[in-house]
């Protein structure tokens, strides 16, 4: 690391005031503070929340997502070769390598385009690089289907950074989670690449290969929503051997990430726990009213044991990595309980009531992102009223 430090120190004068690369100082500062702890402290801004700087916080979140990323690489390859009937003849390395060759380019595009846009904004606005995209750059590929074209990833990233963050003032000022903003943009702009049975498993075949007879690329949620045959067991769902977005299928890998975030104190356990409680409440409420469903398909989905919703689709990933976003989530402790509960509650409600879009966690989190400031307002106002009442009681005594 001393070598990198010496290189950075030698070129630093060129990026400071009066240097020939003065306008590119945010780029230099971004790389320098990514590699080494900055020699200054923050003086203002919404990001002043803890003793460690924001880059170290963001990098910890990225590390927590690595298990889901690595499993997603293997799972993408495994599903691809399963569709071609070759899974038994391929090694673990073959499957992992195939998935890596599809997913690594998505990561490069996500970070390259996203950081490029952020650097441009930093140069124009003449401020230091903002670290929020370190997490979004990893999140966006993980919540995309394996077959989405790279240019769609790039367009979604640009939309998320510009419309989802920079127009509100940058990192710490955004209302919506940027990664979910990218996902929502891609979903509504390119629906045929983001939903249906064709996008979750890559079925491209080389010469002499073909997709096996009876193959279905439907996700578990898609099968339940349409009353179709669910080909996967509870064990498959928990471990993640199912179709879905790249990083969302394995509950085990996501739980490892959750443990890292909770141990380091970065994510809110109140939001995670209340989200699970909200999902269970909605799931078992559906169980009670399943006999009164309006269609056999909906009755089947409503009869699903409430706890199974926790290991299906993107619920676990959304609750752990996106509902806990410290910027767009509620800030007060009581607000976090309310916010998390409603995220889980609405996620399951949208799944069951909207057969056209059985994955509800994205819409639930985005909706509650908008509601979070209102929740905090009423929580704070309730505390103020409570203290006023207590003061009036003391004066009267």
Return the pLDDT at 51.
Answer: 56
| Under 8 Å between Cβ of 372 and 339 | yes
Q: Is the pLDDT of residue 165 over 90?
A: no
Q: How many of the other CB atoms lie within 10 Å of CB of 191?
A: 12
User: What is the C-alpha separation between 19 and 12, in angstroms, rounded?
Assistant: 9
Q: Which of 25, 48, 3, 12 is nearest to 327 (CA)?
A: 48
Return the pLDDT at 118.
Answer: 86
Show the tokens assigned to 12. Answer: 């630093």
Return the pLDDT at 38.
Answer: 63
In tens, the pLDDT along 81-134 reads 999 999 889 999 999 999 999 999 999 999 999 988 888 888 887 776 666 688
Instruction: Tell me the residue length of the chain.
Output: 397
**3-state SS, residue 105:** helix
Return the pLDDT at 50.
Answer: 56
Q: pLDDT-derived band of residue 32, with 50, 70 and 90 as boundaries? A: low
Return the pLDDT at 130.
Answer: 65
Return the pLDDT at 167.
Answer: 83
Q: Where do the structural domains in the chain lie, given as residue ranges? A: 1-35, 53-203+235-267, 269-396
Q: pLDDT-derived band of residue 250, with 50, 70 and 90 as boundaries? A: very high
User: What is the C-alpha separation between 301 and 293, in angstroms, rounded?
Assistant: 9
Model-level pTM? 0.86
- Side-chain half-sphere CA neighbours of 251 within 13 A: 15
Report the percentage of the chain scoring pLDDT > 70.
89
Q: Is the pLDDT of residue 324 over 70?
A: yes
In tens, the pLDDT along 267-297 reads 999 999 999 999 999 999 999 999 988 888 8
User: What is the C-alpha separation between 143 and 227, in angstroms, rounded?
Assistant: 25
Helices (H), the chain: 2-15, 25-35, 54-83, 92-125, 133-142, 150-162, 178-189, 220-226, 234-239, 251-263, 269-289, 296-302, 315-317, 333-353, 361-396
């Amino acid at each position: 690391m001393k070598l990198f430090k010496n290189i950075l120190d030698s070129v630093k004068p060129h990026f400071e005031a009066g240097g020939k690369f003065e306008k590119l100082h945010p780029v230099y500062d971004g790389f320098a503070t990514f590699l080494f702890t900055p020699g200054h402290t923050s003086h203002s801004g919404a990001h002043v929340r803890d003793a460690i700087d924001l880059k170290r916080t963001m990098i910890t979140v990225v590390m927590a997502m690595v298990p889901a990323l690595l499993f997603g690489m293997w799972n993408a390859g495994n599903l691809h070769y399963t569709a071609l009937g070759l899974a038994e003849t391929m090694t673990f390395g073959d499957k992992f390598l195939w998935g890596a060759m599809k997913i690594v380019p998505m990561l490069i595009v996500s970070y390259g385009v996203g950081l490029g846009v952020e650097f441009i904004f930093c140069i124009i606005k003449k401020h230091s690089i903002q670290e929020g995209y370190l997490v979004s750059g990893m999140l966006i590929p993980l919540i995309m289907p394996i077959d989405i074209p790279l240019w769609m990833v790039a367009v979604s990233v640009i939309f998320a950074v510009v419309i989802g963050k920079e127009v509100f003032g940058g990192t710490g000022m955004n209302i919506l989670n940027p990664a979910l903003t990218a996902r929502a943009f891609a979903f509504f702009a390119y629906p045929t690449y983001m939903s249906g049975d064709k996008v979750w498993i890559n079925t491209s075949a080389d010469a002499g290969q073909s997709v096996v007879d009876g193959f279905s690329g439907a996700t578990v949620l898609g099968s339940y929503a349409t009353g179709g045959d669910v080909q996967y067991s509870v064990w498959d769902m928990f471990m993640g051997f199912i179709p879905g977005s790249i990083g969302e299928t394995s509950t085990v890998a996501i739980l490892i990430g959750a443990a890292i975030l909770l141990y380091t104190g970065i994510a809110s356990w109140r939001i995670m726990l209340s989200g699970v409680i909200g999902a269970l409440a909605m799931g078992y409420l559906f169980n009670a009213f399943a006999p009164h469903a309006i269609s056999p398909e909906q009755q089947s989905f409503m009869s699903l044991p409430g706890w199974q919703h926790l290991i299906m689709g993107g619920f676990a990933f959304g609750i752990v990595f996106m509902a806990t976003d410290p910027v767009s989530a509620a800030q007060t402790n009581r607000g976090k309980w309310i916010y998390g509960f409603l995220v889980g509650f609405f996620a399951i409600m949208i799944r069951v009531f909207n057969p056209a879009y059985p994955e509800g966690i994205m819409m639930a989190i985005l909706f509650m992102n908008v509601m979070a400031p209102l929740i905090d307002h009423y929580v704070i106002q309730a505390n103020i009223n409570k203290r006023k009442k207590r003061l009036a009681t003391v004066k009267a005594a």
